[in-house]
Structure 1
Amino acid sequence: MIKLIDANNFSKDFEKQGIQLFTLKNKNGIVSQITNYGGRVVNLFVPDKNGVFEDVVLGYDSAKDYLEKPDHFFGAIIGRYGNRIANGKFGIDNNEFLLEKNEEENQLHGGEKGFHAVVWQAKQISESVLELTHFSKHLDQGFPGNLEVKVEYTLTDENELQIKYFAVSDAKTVINLTNHSYFNLSGNFNKSIENHLFQIKADYYLPVNDKMVPVGILENVANSPFDFRKLKTLKQALNKQHKQIDLGSGFDHNFVLDDVNTGFVAKVIDENSGRSLEVFTTEPGIQFYSGNHLNNLEGKNDVLYQKRAAFCLETQHFPNSPNQTNFPSTLLLSGEKYFSRTIYKFSVYK
């Protein structure tokens, strides 16, 4: 049953900016509500094999909750740099830039006041399209360059949530934008996602150190829990002993995508509900996070989110790329146009 959140729950001023809630719909009845606070996907109602619509993303019921409750980046646009930058610093042309650190010695997801924690300017283009824009000043969270960013959410009639990212800077900088939605295809957030089937088209993943930062090498997934080249349940993967799994109490790793020319990079299926999610992207990597640190968080409709209540598939360039010359570059030149596209496509598995 589709029970939308009252837009008044998101009518709130924050740092002299007005927070709002917007509703997108397609012709097939799929509905998503998105707030301009952090550009967050608040809910997303998609049908199961019996045509029953349920919300499949974690989040909160109000702007107040997003501002005051523990922030796990639910549904947010992440920037300027998605994932971790080691020791909160990097260099461009022999100039060192010191970043705001918000995870011990690292910067995570753009810093404490990254794009997830600002109010975006919003314009609803149509019933199915929302445009968000933000101006990030030079040295915002430590990053160089005045950066103009635009993100376009589209709910297509092919049952896709399509996200397009655009940006331009007036100075050399680094950029790595992504979306941090947490999915549970069962539509029941009391259920674990351990029985979901996962496929990730990657022969390699990036091993991490004890700070969850890639050590700089590519590791073959063969004969390891990281081999998702064929569909298997999360439970099957977690049952294999591996020191990398122990580091993060589950998966929190970037996978090196085989071939993004076709766009298709991952698939998840919940057999009970019949819901299927396919991921398409222009990015070279995808961060698979298995909800390791959810712990008694009171979310929408007073549901307590527990460990493994949801998963994230964050399409992106590799973590800590500005400090790893062998990783694909995230450098954006002055005046150069940044573009990235990701599609989350929903269907019924039969």
Structure 2
Amino acid sequence: MNAITTPLTVEGQSWNEYTLSNDNGMSVSFLDYGGIITSIITPDKHGNYENVVLGFDNYKDYLNNSNYFGALIGRVSGRIANSTFSLNGKTYELPANEGKHHLHGGPVGLHGVIWQVELIETATSTGAVLYHTSLDGDAGYPGTVKFKVSYTLTNDNEFTIDYEAISDQDTILSLTNHSYFNLTGNLKDTVLNHDLKIDASQYVELDHELIPTGRLVPVADTVFDFTKGRKIADGVGSNDPQNKIAGDGYDHFFIFNHKEDVNVELSEETSGRKLTVKTNQPAMVLYTGNSVDDSCTLKERQSVKHLGVCLETQSTPASLNYPGFPSILLAKHETYRHTTTFKFSTL
């Protein structure tokens, strides 16, 4: 188990890239800028070690990371309708960065700040703790919030992200990671032939601007039913109006049943790689890279649509407007605490 720090100079800024490696040869690399995960190296069924996430070839491209490759997302992941919300009788206006809506914390969210990093090594794991303080009024949000995010890699090929935060005022908060996974290895193909299983019986309907309508839809008898597993291609090639709204694919919020041992299973037959996700988050946004075009130069190739799939465990800003949704309210001095573990193995 070890951790390596590599200093970088990017457009005049001093960054660091950290690489966590376990005794099996698996590694996770990330930046202090945005907490961005730049690569995850795992073996396939033949023992070949390859990257399984999307990352830029040139680090400076992370400065304009409109696809949020690998980034920590906050203060609120997802879209806040009309860039406004009310809390304790007061209305807050947020900067719009997707049409009239506020997406993923705004133009300068947690994905665009430099985090303080402390490396942690134990007998059974290697990791890092990332710290950042967001001041009252940052991006229009109330409360000074102290963030602590831990990245931990074990010899069981488990990569865990622990999120903690505390605010000095009532506020709203929903953190996630925006890594795009591709288990083919070194982006050999799109994710269309990946098999996906989600322990979720309902998803949230979207309008034409990808804003939740407030309607929870049963997945039964639709291409949104991943309870027994299906190909990602099923939704991409679907004529379901919801798949069409999302740009031929998925960009939808699934409510976990929390009845299975794991919440999500993703696998790819050719490589034999398998990824399982276990979380105490109430739900997940499944995003299949529908808006990714050929404009990004990644480490292994030029980007294309559906080259990666995001498994964004989180709550939802839809709860600001509709009852019955997982809440994103964080009370003054209460601790926000969520954990998501990504376990890599082979079939």
Q: Could you say whether these structures have the same fold, taking a TM-score greater than 0.5 normalized by the shorter chain as the test?
A: yes
Report Cα offsets for 1:103-146 as digits up to 9, x if no partner: 11110000000000111111112272011011001011111000
Which residue matches 2:36? 40
Q: Distance between the aligned counterparts of 2:154 and 2:134, measured in 1?
A: 29
Shift of 1:302: 5.7
Q: Structure 2 residue aligned with 1:282, among 272, 280, 284?
A: 280
Letter in structure 1 aligned against 2:252: H
* In 2: Cα distance, 1:245 partner to 1:111 partner: 25
1:105 equivalent to 2:100? Answer yes
Q: Would the aligned equivalents of 1:213 and 1:319 in 2 still touch at CA under 8 Å?
A: no
Give yes or no for contact 2:32–2:114 (8 Å, CA) kept in 1.
yes
Within a 5 Å distance, the mapping from 1:62-81 to structure 2 comes to 62-68=58-64, 70-81=65-76
- Number of residue pairs aligned between Structure 1 and Structure 2: 340
Q: Does 1:120 align with 2:118?
A: no
| Residue aligning to 2:239 | 241
* Matching residue of 1:87: 82
Instruction: For residue 305 of structure 1, report the CA deviation from its aligned partner.
Output: 0.8
Structure 1 stretch 83-92 or stretch 231-240: which is displaced more? 231-240
Deviates more, 1:287-296 or 1:59-68: 59-68
CA contact (8 A) 2:235 2:243 kept: no
SS of equivalent to 1:226: coil
- Structure 1 window deviating more from structure 2 (322-331 vs 155-164): it is 322-331
Distance in 2 of aligned mates of 1:302 and 1:158: 27
Change in Cα spacing, 1:210 to 1:321, as seen in structure 2 (3 Å) is same
Give structure 1 stretches of 5+ with no counterpart: none
Match of 2:38, SS state, is strand
1:186, distance to aligned residue in structure 2 (A): 0.4
Instruction: Tell me which of 192, 195, 208 is aligned to 1:194.
Output: 192
Stretches of structure 2 that go unaligned for 5 or more consecutive residues are: none
Task: Provide Cα deviations, 1:36-73, integer angstroms capped at 9, x if missing partner.
Answer: 110010000000001110000001134322115x5210
The structure with the greater share of residues assigned to strand is: 2
- SS class of match (2:233): helix
Cα separation, 2, equivalents of 1:101 and 1:192? 31
Cα deviation 1:191-239 (Å, max 9, x = unaligned): 1111000101110000001110111111000111100111211123333
- SS of match in other structure, 2:28: strand
Q: Are 2:253 and 1:258 equivalent residues in the alignment?
A: no
Q: State the SS of the aligned residue for 1:206.
A: strand
Separation of aligned partners in 1, 2:323 and 2:161: 28
Q: How far apart, CA to CA, are the structure 1 residues paired with 2:261 and 2:82?
A: 33
Provide the TM-score with structure 1 as the length reference.
Answer: 0.93
Name the CA distance, whole Å, in 2 between partners of 1:335 and 1:284: 22
Cα contact 1:81–1:177 (8 A) shared by 2? yes
Contact 1:263-1:281 at 8 Å conserved across structures: no
Alignment-mate amino acid for residue 50 of structure 1: H
Which residue type is aligned with residue 334 of structure 1? Answer: K
Decide whether the 8 Å contact of 1:85 with 1:106 is kept in 2. Answer: yes
Q: Which residue of 1 aligns with 2:322?
A: 324
Instruction: Give the equivalent residue in structure 1 for 2:160.
Output: 162
Which residue, out of 128, 131, 134, partners 2:129? 131
The TM-score normalised by the length of structure 2 is 0.94
Alpha-carbon shift at residue 6 of structure 1 (Å):
9.5
What is the aligned-residue RMSD (CA, Å)? 1.8
Percent identity over paired residues: 38
CA contact (8 A) 1:196 1:268 kept: yes
CA distance in 2, matches of 1:203, 1:162: 25
Give the counterpart letter for 1:296 in structure 2. Answer: D
1:22 aligns with 2:18: yes
Is 185-194 or 73-82 further displaced after alignment?
185-194
